[in-house]
Amino acid sequence: MEIVEQRQGAVTVVRPRGPLVLDDAEVFKSRLGEVMTRSLGRFVVDMSEVPYLDSRGLEVLKETTDELLDGGRSLRLCAANETVREVLDVTDLAESFEFFADATSAVRSFL
């Protein structure tokens, strides 16, 4: 899995490329942990290149957002496709996240 990281002011945008499943979900979690240690606590996960995710991918997103919230920080999701949104809805995890159409609107939500 390729993971692209970009800073937009005080916000870090992380864009995984590929399905967020099993071992790739672990790689993604590790990378998010690294990003969290060197950022200001404002994160956007750009899901535009994630076609689907499994239960481990869901766990990684939920664990990360919980960890951030515990520390007074926050995570936003953007550009999630219909399949990803449906999985989050069916598992009742959608309410754990703020969703945005694209990275720009998600970044601006921190202002």
pLDDT tens across 10-42, in order? 999 999 999 999 999 999 999 999 988 888 889
Residues above pLDDT 70, as percent of the chain = 100
pLDDT tens across 68-78, in order? 889 888 899 99
User: In the prediction, which pLDDT does 36 show?
Assistant: 86
The residues pairing with 2 across neighbouring beta strands, listed in sequence order, are 17
Q: In what order do the strands lie in the sheet with 2-8?
A: 2-8, 11-17, 42-46, 74-78, 98-100
Binned at pLDDT 50, 70 and 90, residue 111 comes out as confident
Residue range 96-100: mean pLDDT, rounded = 95
What are the backbone angles phi and psi of residue 76, rounded to the nearest 5°? Answer: -120, 145
Residue range 83-105: mean pLDDT, rounded = 95
Averaged pLDDT score across all residues of the chain? 94
- C-alpha–C-alpha distance, residues 54 and 10, integer Å: 30
Both structure tokens of 111: 């202002």
User: In the prediction, which pLDDT does 65 show?
Assistant: 92
Distances (CA, A) of 10 to 61, 108, 110: 21, 11, 9
